[in-house]
A = this chain, B = another copy of it.
């Protein structure tokens, strides 16, 4: 019971599948592509997952639960509304950068699930959006909270279309740029006067 070969093999399958899904999209990816990428046989993968769509579901659920729990922890560790929002942004962006494939699959392949597998992901999404909306609300912003939340998610999730971890810009720097831009806008200076003092 010390090592669990089954779980490790499943995890490896999920990781590889996430990479391939991220690279060429869920629908164009064939089970034969995944067999080649994992080194398993075509039929062998069905010992671990029920099918192709279940693979996508497991990837999305695990990733979403991880990013949600991580965000909860990050927010709890910060004090004050501004710092809590900053912590949320930093966590989301750095998590995105560290799990690019899974987060791209989560962002871009929402809607590729059907029927009963869609519901748990939608529920996770609502909880995650509500978490951010609460942080924004605590800031007493004059903006519409829902629009502001979706605007921030768009800003952050869009990075899978242009950001590369191999580039010169670190995820932490990117997160701080987003935070400044989101809190104080394009025209305010980079290190604004603290609104509290």
Contacts and interface: CB of A to CB of B under 8 A. Distances in A.
A117 to B, nearest CB: 15
A157 interface: yes
A13 to B, nearest CB: 22
Interface string A163-197: 10000010000100110111111111110000100
A48 interface: no
Contact of A143 (B27, B163, B180, B195): B180
B181 A148 contact: yes
A186 B139 contact: yes
A37 interface: no
Contact of A151 (B112, B150, B178, B195): B178
Copies in the complex: 2
A153 interface: yes
Interface size class of A (residues with CB under 8 A): 35 or more
A110 interface: yes
A179 B111 CA distance: 29
A161 B113 CA distance: 15
**A141, A163, A181, A183: most-surrounded residue (chain B CB, <10 A):** A181
